[in-house]
C-alpha cells in the first residue's frame, strides 16, 4: 500500500526518543534506519536521537556532537556513581537522572522518602568547573522527591533542624527543617545562564505537584505522598522566610515539580524554565535537519496521554507540522486514538504490539520488531 507522500519522499529524518526499558534513542534510530533500508537500500536517512530533559538527554547531546565528560558523584542512595554531562564549547547539558535517576536504583529498590539529589548538584558544579557558562539542566526520570534540597546543599546551601544539625537526605526529613542559609551557594550561578529543561510543567506541591503525580512511580505509598507533599510545602515556606516571595513564586511556577521538585531548586538557583523537548530540539540542531527532511519518523516506548503533554514525539510532531512535514511514529505500545494522533500532527503510529502482542516478548525483541515495523513504514510511504 502507498499511504500518501510516497514517491517524492527521498530524505527521512528519524527523530525518536528511547523505548524505555528496551532500546536507547540511538538504538531506535539504528533499527529504524536498518528497517527502512531493507526496503529502499539507497534511501537518505538522517538520525537525530531526541530527549525531553529526562534520562537519555546527555546521550542525545553526545549523539549530536557534544563531548561526554564523566564524573564520580553521589547517587540517589548516597552511594558513589559515575555520571556524565555533555559539553560543547561553553554549553553543558547536565542531566539530573545521570546522578539521581530511577535507573540508578537496584531492581525493586525504591527510596521515595530519602533519595537525594546531592549528586545532581555535584554534576552541575563539575560542568561549571569545566568552563560551562550556559547550563542546560535536563530534569526528569528521577528517583527523588527532595525539592532539589540535596542539589542546593551540594552547591553550598545549608539546611538545619531546630538543633542546628543538617537535616537528613531526601524529601521527608525536610519536615524537620528549621532554618535555611543560601549565602554559601556557588557564586558562579549569579553570572551563568541556567536553563531548566523539564519534561513536565507541574508545580512543586498540591494535587498536581511532584509527590502526588510522580511519587508513586518512585515507590511512594499514598501515606508517603502526604508526608512528602507536607515536607516540600514546609521547605518552600522556610525558603520564603529566607529569601522572600521569590521562593513562593518558584513553588507554583511551571516546572517546579519536575524530577521530584528539583525544578524548584533550580528556579531558586535562578534558572529560567523551558519545556524540555523544545529546548533540546534547539540544542540538538533539529530545525536544519527538519528542513532537509521529506518524512519525519518520531516515537517513544509508549505513545499515550503523557506523550501529548510535552513529551519528545509531541514536540517533534509540532515542529514538523509547523514546517509542513509529514510525520509518522513508532512505539512499543499505542494508547492514543487516531484522532488524538492526528491532532498532535502524527499521521499514523506503528506499535510493536501489532507484531507481537505479548508484552514481555515484545520488550525482549524490540530491536528486530522495530526493524520489521520500519520496513512496513517504507512500504507504506516510500515505495
Ligand X SMILES: O=C(O)[C@H](O)CO
Query: Is residue 199 a contact residue for ligand X (CB under 6 A)?
Result: yes
Stretch that binds ligand X, among 227-235, 254-262, 307-315, 332-340 (CB under 6 A): 254-262
Nearest to 181 by CA among 155, 146, 144: 155
Query: Is residue 259 a contact residue for ligand X (CB under 6 A)?
Result: yes
Q: Which of 24, 74, 117, 142 binds ligand X (CB under 6 A)?
A: 142
The burial class, CB within 10 Å (0-12 / 13-18 / 19+), for 296 is: buried
Stretch that binds ligand X, among 165-173, 185-193, 253-261, 303-311 (CB under 6 A): 253-261
- Shortest Å distance, C-beta 254 to ligand X: 12
Q: Which of 214, 273, 350, 381 binds ligand X (CB under 6 A)?
A: 214
Query: Is residue 141 a contact residue for ligand X (CB under 6 A)?
Result: yes
Of the pair 186, 278, the CB lying nearest ligand X is at 278
CA dihedral (105, 107, 110, 111) positive or negative: negative
Of the pair 139, 281, the CB lying nearest ligand X is at 139
Nearest to 94 by CA among 83, 105, 103: 83
Stretch that binds ligand X, among 14-22, 242-250, 258-266, 329-337 (CB under 6 A): 258-266
Q: Please say whether the beta carbons of 120 and 186 come within 8 A.
A: no
CA distances from 196 to 53, 88, 254 (A): 9, 18, 10
Q: Please say whether the beta carbons of 10 and 2 come within 8 A.
A: no
Q: Which of 147, 260, 301, 351 binds ligand X (CB under 6 A)?
A: 260
Nearest to 183 by CA among 162, 217, 159, 201: 159
Q: Which of 64, 124, 192, 200 binds ligand X (CB under 6 A)?
A: 200
> How many other CB atoms are there within 10 angstroms of residue 167's CB atom?
22
Binding mask 44-63 for ligand X (x = CB under 6 A): ----------x---------
Stretch that binds ligand X, among 85-93, 137-145, 189-197, 307-315 (CB under 6 A): 137-145
Planar angle of CA 227, 81, 188, nearest 5 degrees: 80
Of the pair 259, 366, the CB lying nearest ligand X is at 259
Residue 25, C-beta contacts closer than 8 angstroms, at least 6 positions apart: 16, 17, 18, 49, 50, 51, 56, 59, 60, 63
Query: Is residue 76 a contact residue for ligand X (CB under 6 A)?
Result: no
Lookup: cell for 181: 542559609
Q: Which of 119, 121, 140, 170 binds ligand X (CB under 6 A)?
A: 140
Lookup: cell for 34: 536498518
Stretch that binds ligand X, among 65-73, 138-146, 231-239, 315-323 (CB under 6 A): 138-146
What residues line the site for ligand X (CB under 6 A)? 54, 139-142, 199-200, 214, 258-260
Amino acid at each position: 500500500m502507498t499511504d500518501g507522500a510516497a514517491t517524492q519522499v527521498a530524505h527521512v529524518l528519524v527523530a525518536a526518543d528511547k523505548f524505555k526499558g528496551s532500546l536507547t534513542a540511538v538504538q531506535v534510530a539504528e533499527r529504524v534506519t536498518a528497517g527502512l533500508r531493507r526496503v529502499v537500500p539507497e534511501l537518505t536517512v538522517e538520525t537525530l536521537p531526541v530527549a525531553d530533559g529526562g534520562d537519555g538527554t546527555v546521550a542525545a547531546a553526545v549523539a549530536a556532537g557534544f563531548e561526554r565528560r564523566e564524573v564520580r558523584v553521589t547517587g540517589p542512595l548516597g552511594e558513589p556513581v559515575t555520571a556524565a554531562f555533555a559539553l560543547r564549547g561553553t554549553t553543558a547539558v547536565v542531566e539530573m537522572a545521570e546522578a539521581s535517576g530511577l535507573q540508578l536504583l537496584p531492581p525493586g529498590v525504591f527510596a521515595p522518602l530519602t533519595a537525594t539529589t546531592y549528586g545532581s548538584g555535584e554534576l552541575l558544579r563539575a560542568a561549571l568547573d569545566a568552563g560551562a557558562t550556559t547550563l542546560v539542566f535536563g530534569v526528569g526520570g528521577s528517583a527523588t522527591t527532595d525539592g532539589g534540597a540535596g542539589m542546593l546543599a551540594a552547591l553550598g546551601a545549608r539546611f538545619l533542624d531546630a538543633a542546628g544539625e543538617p537535616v537528613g537526605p531526601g524529601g521527608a526529613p525536610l519536615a524537620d527543617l528549621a532554618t535555611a542559609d543560601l549565602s554559601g551557594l556557588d557564586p558562579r550561578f549569579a553570572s551563568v545562564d541556567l536553563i531548566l529543561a523539564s519534561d513536565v510543567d507541574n508545580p512543586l506541591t498540591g494535587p498536581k505537584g511532584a509527590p502526588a503525580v510522580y511519587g508513586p512511580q518512585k515507590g511512594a505509598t499514598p501515606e508517603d505522598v502526604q508526608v512528602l507533599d507536607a515536607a516540600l510545602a514546609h521547605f518552600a515556606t522556610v525558603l520564603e522566610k529566607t529569601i522572600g516571595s521569590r521562593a513562593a513564586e518558584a513553588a507554583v511556577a511551571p516546572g517546579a515539580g519536575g524530577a521530584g521538585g528539583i525544578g524548584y531548586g533550580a528556579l531558586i538557583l535562578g534558572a529560567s524554565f523551558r519545556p524540555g523537548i523544545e529546548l533540546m530540539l534547539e540544542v540538538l540542531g533539529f530545525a536544519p535537519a527538519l528542513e532537509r527532511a521529506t518524512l519525519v519518523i518520531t516515537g517513544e516506548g509508549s505513545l499515550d496521554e503523557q506523550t501529548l503533554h510535552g513529551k519528545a514525539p509531541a514536540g517533534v510532531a509540532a515542529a514538523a507540522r509547523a514546517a509542513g512535514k509529514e510525520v509518522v511514529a513508532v512505539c512499543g505500545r499505542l494508547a492514543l486514538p487516531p484522532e488524538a494522533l492526528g491532532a498532535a500532527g502524527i499521521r499514523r503510529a506503528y506499535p510493536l504490539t501489532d507484531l507481537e502482542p505479548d508484552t514481555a516478548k515484545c520488550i525482549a525483541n524490540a530491536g528486530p520488531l522495530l526493524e520489521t515495523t520500519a520496513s512496513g513504514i517504507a512500504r507504506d510511504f516510500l515505495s
